[in-house]
Structure formats: structure tokens, C-alpha cells
Amino acid sequence: MSLPAIILVEPQLGENIGAVARIMANFGLSDLRLVTPRDGWPNPKAEEMAAGGIAIVNNARIFPSLEEAIADLQYVVATSARQIRDMEVRSLAPRESIANIPEDFATGIMFGRERIGLTNDEITFADSLVSIPVSKDCPSLNIAQAVAIITYEWHLRFGENSVSKKPEKSPPANKTDIVNLFHHLESELDRKNFFRVPEKRQIMVQNIRNMITRAQPSEQEIRTFRGIIRSLTDENPGKKPRNG
């Protein structure tokens, strides 16, 4: 089991980033990725709060977009405070969610902004959704507390020296491959006027992306899928050499 990356999308308070780094160190994690932290980087408040996680703060990587932050990952879990209506991603409890992480996938767990969380668009990049069960009367968790609970469950299942090896399979596609497939398919659908009602384009794109993500395609399958798109849109089939 490789150690999961923790991805914070547009985190606002340095204190929270530091507290996240500390709990990551408590549970043996190290790969912290920040998508455009609001107050810039480095952030002295993050350093103050990090305690034993100071090296994690110092080595945190900053990305200009979520897509870039997850580009090398093969399986991404999104945390969400709410059930996402209109989206066909099932939300799991933390224990169940961690149990479902495929072994030997490069994994990331992403957390949204304080208060507003992740957008539906961001969630389309996720292979699964996790929700921490909380009181209906006070559902808003501090982000570092949410990270604590999820990483605690991760540590319980996979913690130090839990090694397991799986037989080799066609390697799972990483998020770069998947995002490129999204863009290829969507640009062809735009060209073909598939999204006739502009207001519905976004939700339709989300549903298509979710369906593809859920299949957890391998690298080979992504190549096949892109070949299918090229083939279906080819108006002169059989007349030129195959381009990949």
C-alpha cells in the first residue's frame, strides 16, 4: 500500500494547514499538496501549528489547479459534508471508504475549502466520496478534524508495516490520462452539438465524467476509449493509417 497524498483545495487558514500536517505525521503520512492556498505560501501560521509535522509543511507542494495536483494519482477519494444530489457517486462512511481503496494504487484524499467544501466539478475527479457521519444540528467539521478522522481510519487499516502485494495487472490510468480523455470526448461532443441545451451542459458533463471515473479504467482501456472516439468521429474510415 502506498501512502496516500492529502490534497487541500484552496485552504484558507494557515493554522488549519499546519494542523493537517501535524495529524498526517501522527498517522505516518507525508505527501501534502495544496491547491492555491488563499494566503499564499509559505505561511508562518502553518509552520507554528505543525509541531511534529513541520517537515510536511516545508515539503508541501503547491499546485495552480486540482487537475495538476492529482495528475499522477490513480485513485482519488473526495470528502464531502453532504450527499451530492444529481450526481451518481455513492458516498461512504470513512471505514467503508478506506476499506474500498484499491491496494497499490497511487491514492489521494482531497478536502475542500473551509465552509464551502468541494465543488461538484471538483468531485467529478473522484473515484469515491466519503462523508463523516455528524450530528444534524452541527454538521460543519473543522478541516483538520476531518483529516484526523479519515487518516485515523487509514492508519487503522494500513498503518505502519502493513505490506501486501497484489498480482500485476494492466496499470490503472492516472488522472492525467483520464482528464485528457474527458477533454477529448467533450470537445468532440461540443463539435457534434451534443449539448443542445447550454444550461444542461455542466450537469451532463459531470454525469459522463462520473461514469468514466467509476469504471476505474486502466491505461490500456483509456487508449482503447480514445481510439473509439477517434473511430466514431472518423468520416472517412478505412482510408488512412491508424493514428495510434
Q: Which of 133, 198, 199, 244 binds a second copy (CB under 8 A)?
A: 133
Q: Confirm or reject binding of residue 71 to a second copy (CB under 8 A).
A: no
Q: Confirm or reject binding of residue 204 to a second copy (CB under 8 A).
A: yes
Q: Confirm or reject binding of residue 12 to a second copy (CB under 8 A).
A: no
Stretch binding a second copy (CB under 8 A), from 65-73, 104-112, 119-127, 205-213: 205-213
At position 197, the amino acid (one-letter code) is V
Q: Confirm or reject binding of residue 234 to a second copy (CB under 8 A).
A: yes
Q: Confirm or reject binding of residue 178 to a second copy (CB under 8 A).
A: no
Q: Which of 100, 119, 162, 187 binds a second copy (CB under 8 A)?
A: 162
Stretch binding a second copy (CB under 8 A), from 18-26, 33-41, 62-70, 105-113: 18-26
Q: Confirm or reject binding of residue 131 to a second copy (CB under 8 A).
A: yes
Which residues, including other chains, have CB under 8 Å from residue 109's CB and lie 6 or more apart? 4, 5, 6, 7, 76, 77, 79, 130, 150, 151, 154
DSSP assignment letter at 6:
E
Which residues, including other chains, have CB under 8 Å from residue 127's CB and lie 6 or more apart? 75, 76, 77, 213, 214, 216
Q: Which of 42, 65, 121, 139 binds a second copy (CB under 8 A)?
A: 139
| Interface of this chain with a second copy, residues 86 to 115, rule: CB under 8 A | 87-93, 95-96
* 162 burial type by CB count under 10 A (0-12 exposed, 13-18 middle, 19+ buried): exposed
What is the rounded CA–CA span in Å between residue 31 and residue 26?
13
At position 108, the amino acid (one-letter code) is G
Q: Confirm or reject binding of residue 35 to a second copy (CB under 8 A).
A: no
